[in-house]
Structure 1
Amino acid sequence: MKIMHVDASAKRERSNSRALSRFFLEQLREQHADVEIDYLDVTVDTPPHVTEAFAIATYTAAADRTPAMKATLASSDALCARVLAADALVLAMPMYNWSMPSVFKAFIDSITRTNVTYLLNADGSIVGQLGRQKVLFITSRGADLRPGSSYEAMDALTPALKAAFGFLGANHPTFVDAQPLQFADQEARTEALARARNELSAVAVQWAKSAAAGVSGKDTTATASGVAA
């Protein structure tokens, strides 16, 4: 199973999302899953932010693109190829001010490409090309945004990720969210991280079984957040 592993936290060794994504991959290996990792740290290798030149080039028919347009799209083309080649995506990030880090938004903008990661039919319907990939989002959140919490309605991260990757065909992502962390006492933080690790261990078992059976695409593992992959 080829996994594209993306980290998006500005922190290094102090990052909870990075630590949890490493934990998940370790759990996969402990399940004897045969994994190949394609790693991308978008805080180091940040995809270019959208420019006017990018917008014009991406909506110009491939046959009509100038050499300059092709050069503008080159890094996006390469990143799309990496994503499409993966059997699974492990996408780890913190929540910054209720949504995703800007570097991960740049990643989404770079891989959302007409006639590459999604097809636009004549009737206006969209066919995303990531339907075969498993997708796991590992997020860390300072506050408690679980259902029933006072901050539940302020979670802009989960719906944004579901919408962006659903558009690309990944309609059944798994979410493992470590929360609350920053705005909580030590006991609550410890419990949140333990809860996340338990969920990740369960997902690792399911992914390893699917890999052993030669199955890709969605599975039916439910998480505490109520979203299945």
Structure 2
Amino acid sequence: MKVMHVDASAKRERSNSRALSRYFLERLRGEGVDLEIDYLDVTVDTPPHVSEAFAIATYTPANERTPAMKATLASSDALCKRLLEADALIFAMPMYNWSMPSAFKAFIDNITRTELTYVNTDDGRIEGQLGSQKVLFITSRGADLRPGTPFSSMDALTPSLKAAFGFLGVADPTFVDAQPLQFSNQEARAEALERARDELSLVAARWAQAELSSQTHEAIEAL
């Protein structure tokens, strides 16, 4: 399984989302899945923020782009290629002020590309091109934003990720959210992380079962 793994926390060893994404990959390997990891840390290799030149170039038909336009889009083109070549996408990030880190927003802006990650059909529809990939979002939140809690209405992260990747064809992403963390006591933090690890173990088992079943089916077809 080829996995694109993206981390977006400004923290390093103290990052809960990074630790949880590593845990998930360990569980996948533990389930017997052979992994090829394409790793990106957007806090280190931050995609360029949208500029006027980028906006003009991306909506210029590919066969009409100048060399300068092609150079402007080169890193975005490469990111889109990495996404499209992956079997599964793992995005790990903290919630910053109710939404995503700005570096991950820049990533989304760079991968939302007409005629690459989404296409305009002849009958006027938009078809996202990431419909075949498994997608997992691992998030950490300082407060408890689960349904029924006082802050639940302030979760702008989940709907924005669903909207952005739904546009690209991801119909049913999986979310594992560790919460509450920073703004809670030690016992509540420990429970939140354990709950997230338990959920990730279940997701890993489900992905592994699907991957092994797919390999078996391919082997039978090859006979």
TM bracket, shorter-chain basis? over 0.9
Equivalence for 1:109: 109
The one-letter amino acid of 1:132's match is S
Task: Kindly state the Cα deviation for residue 124 of structure 1 after the two structures are TM-superposed.
Answer: 2.6
Between structure 1 and structure 2, the one with the greater Rg is 2
The one-letter amino acid of 1:28's match is L
Task: Kindly state the Cα deviation for residue 122 of structure 1 after the two structures are TM-superposed.
Answer: 3.3
SS of 2:106's equivalent in the other structure is helix
Task: Kindly state the Cα deviation for residue 123 of structure 1 after the two structures are TM-superposed.
Answer: 3.3
Task: Kindly state the Cα deviation for residue 36 of structure 1 after the two structures are TM-superposed.
Answer: 0.6
Alignment of 1:67-78 (within 5 A): 67-78=67-78
1:213 aligns with 2:205: no
The one-letter amino acid of 2:90's match is V
The one-letter amino acid of 1:123's match is D
1:14-51, Cα deviation, whole Å (9 max, x unpaired): 00000000000000001110111000000000000000
SS of 1:175's equivalent in the other structure is strand
1:63-95, Cα deviation, whole Å (9 max, x unpaired): 000000000000000000000000000000000
1:196 aligns with 2:184: no
SS of 1:122's equivalent in the other structure is coil
CA distance in 1, matches of 2:207, 2:195: 19
SS of 2:137's equivalent in the other structure is strand
TM-score, reference length from structure 2: 0.95
TM-score, reference length from structure 1: 0.93
Equivalence for 1:80: 80
SS of 2:214's equivalent in the other structure is coil
The count of corresponding residues between Structure 1 and Structure 2 is 215
CA distance in 2, matches of 1:159, 1:194: 24
Equivalence for 2:96: 96
Task: Kindly state the Cα deviation for residue 125 of structure 1 after the two structures are TM-superposed.
Answer: 1.2
Equivalence for 1:151: 151
Runs (4 or more) in structure 1 with deviation over 6 Å come to: none
Alignment of 1:1-229 (within 5 A): 1-214=1-214
SS of 2:75's equivalent in the other structure is helix
Q: Unmatched 5+ residue regions in structure 2?
A: 216-223
The one-letter amino acid of 1:60's match is T
Q: Unmatched 5+ residue regions in structure 1?
A: 216-229
SS of 1:163's equivalent in the other structure is helix
